[in-house]
Chains A and B, each alone.
Chain A
Amino acid sequence: MNNTALATDSGFDVYGVRRDFPVLARVLRGKPLAYLDNGASAQRPNAVIDAVDDYERRHHSNIHRGVHTLSQEATGLYEAARDRLVRFVNAGSRHELIFVRGTTEAINLVAQSYARPLLGSGDEILITHLEHHANIVPWQLVCEQTGAKLVVAPIDEHGEVHVEAVEALMNERTRLFACAHVSNALGTVLPVKRLVAAAKSRGIVTLVDGAQAVPHVAVDVQDLGCDFYCFSGHKLFGPTGIGVLYGREAILERMPPWQGGGDMILAVTFAKTTYNSLPYKFEAGTPNISGAIGLGAAVQYLDGMDLAGAHAHEHALLAYATASLSKIDDLRIVGTARTKASLVSFVVEGVHPHDLGTILDEDAIAIRTGHHCAMPVMDFFRVPATARASFAFYNTFEEIDRLSAAVQRARSIFA
């Protein structure tokens, strides 16, 4: 394939974009870094690094507290970041956008604050077979606490979730349906809008884990119609330790606070505490201020780029990687859904993924190997682990060529 032609065809200035991400210039063992582990964590552009740096150097203070200048500046920056994220996912209002540590915390918040008080013995929570552990374990915990039952909707041999199969498991006992928007282990894009509609028509509350989706698809929570949507900042080119929980205001209003402390209260006496309004009711304690500002900067950066071009480029990368890897003997792609985000999970006969990861690392190619915190998915495909190359818009066709060559090299070592 003529790489240059393909890169030009997608009309996206990948080499220009790469200059925005300083880490991509790193050279390891004499070879340029090929960072293909974006599903685990994406890299940060200068815009994010600079925003965090500027905050730390000039504006840091606690928020929502002081009358002094720095506190007002920090509060302004933090709340401006919230407003950017409100627009990014098209939430109905800033009351619906809660800053959390990440997707995991968001799901635990919903499990403990929404589901736990509501559930009883005989109630059911419905998830799918391809969920990340973060969208399994919080529900298992709340099931143990309440006597509710966790029900798992099947996937097919391509790693697809079928709406009818999920609908068949929805009944009058189903109190909540939670699913990934995009599978982290397989890349499958789930038909979330239809799944949410199916749940809604039965009065079932819905949560969508968007951790793997927000970097790859435009998300409009009002269009999806879900009650909760969550994602992590660091997979969206922002800092670690910051993420977002979107919740419909009517539901958030009814929920008790998850954690108690500062910022989530209006008035405290030893007799009674009056909770603060949304979203602060769910933001107890001093939050990750610089993280929120960094995430706001990441979203601002994305707003300023050719996102349609970026997504088209990612799709071209996915198609090219799928075609290139498929040509390698004894290589099997795990997860062959018709609609996928730009990641390829695979196994190579005779080469354990862990060995593959080490051999690729010698060529300065970073991929993820292991069970991807999705052990039920590994069990379904009867593999202990896979290798996963996950792409961002700053990846190139040359990097995929290097990936393919390194996989061939690994095969020759173990031949």
Chain B
Amino acid sequence: MELNDLYRDVILDHNRRPRNFGPLDAADASIEGFNPMCGDRLTVRLKMAGDAIADIRFEGQGCAISTASASLMTEAVKGKTRAEAIALFDRVHHLLTDDAACGDELGKLAALSGVREFPARVKCASLCWHTLASALRSADPRALPAVSTE
């Protein structure tokens, strides 16, 4: 276990300057994720164009891992279709939980692989992804309840 592996430069950068952070006017979906263990709370908002994610932004309060993961996620899924984004969620989930996953095909998201050495922190990294996946899998994302890691 190495701290440098957890707090890689990409993670520190996205924590310091989170991308796509803030409100999103006229969002098609707004869904809240909550980690009751640590109190992390974030809201992911989506604007859809047909089946594709036209825009995505997030807001909330969380640790560096949760903030950076959400920031990286918004960059990665913008423009993707529902199915593509869900497939990406599955790959990231695999990366966070399976030591054999290399994440080479994931680009910047591969920076999250250090999290799996810190089991107490996997939920921090996955909170935003679960929140997004829940919205994308729902027929009517506007009516969704909040997502909890517990």
Per-position contact with B for A361-381: 1 when CB-CB < 8 Å, else 0? 010000001110001001000
Tell me, in angstroms, the Cα distance from A320 to B62 when the chains sit together: 30
B38 and A369 contact, CB distance less than 8 A: yes
Contacts of A64 in B (CB 8 A): none
Tell me, in angstroms, the Cα distance from A362 to B38 when the chains sit together: 19
Q: Within the complex, what minimum Cβ distance (angstroms) separates B8 from chain A?
A: 11
Per-position contact with B for A331-363: 1 when CB-CB < 8 Å, else 0? 000000000000000000000111100110010
Contacts of A352 in B (CB 8 A): 62-64
A413 and B62 contact, CB distance less than 8 A: no
Contacts of A362 in B (CB 8 A): 1, 3
A385 and B3 contact, CB distance less than 8 A: no
Q: Could you name 19 residue pairs across A and B whose Cβ atoms are closer than 8 Å?
A: A29-B1, A352-B62, A354-B38, A354-B65, A354-B121, A354-B124, A358-B3, A358-B118, A358-B120, A358-B121, A362-B3, A369-B38, A375-B39, A378-B39, A384-B61, A385-B38, A413-B3, A414-B12, A414-B16
Q: Within the complex, what minimum Cβ distance (angstroms) separates A388 from chain B?
A: 13
A413 and B124 contact, CB distance less than 8 A: no
Residue on A with the closest CB to B41? A384
Tell me, in angstroms, the Cα distance from A378 to B40 when the chains sit together: 13
Given A354-B63, A355-B63: A384 in contact with B40 (beta carbons within 8 A): yes
By Cβ-Cβ distance, the 5 closest A-B pairs, closest first, are: A354-B63, A352-B63, A384-B39, A355-B64, A385-B39
Q: Within the complex, what minimum Cβ distance (angstroms) separates B116 from chain A?
A: 13
Residue on B with the closest CB to A362? B3
Contacts of A355 in B (CB 8 A): 7, 63-65
A contact face: mostly helix, strand, loop, or mixed: helix
Q: Within the complex, what minimum Cβ distance (angstroms) separates B18 from chain A?
A: 13
Contacts of B118 in A (CB 8 A): 358
Q: Within the complex, what minimum Cβ distance (angstroms) separates B24 from chain A?
A: 22
Most buried by A among B1, B40, B64: B64
B39 and A359 contact, CB distance less than 8 A: no
- B15 contacts partner chain A, Cβ-Cβ < 8 Å: yes
CB proximity to A under 8 Å, residues B1-60: 1, 3, 6-7, 12, 15-16, 37-41
Tell me, in angstroms, the Cα distance from A384 to B124 when the chains sit together: 14
Given A362-B1, A414-B64: A370 in contact with B7 (beta carbons within 8 A): no
Contacts of A385 in B (CB 8 A): 38-39
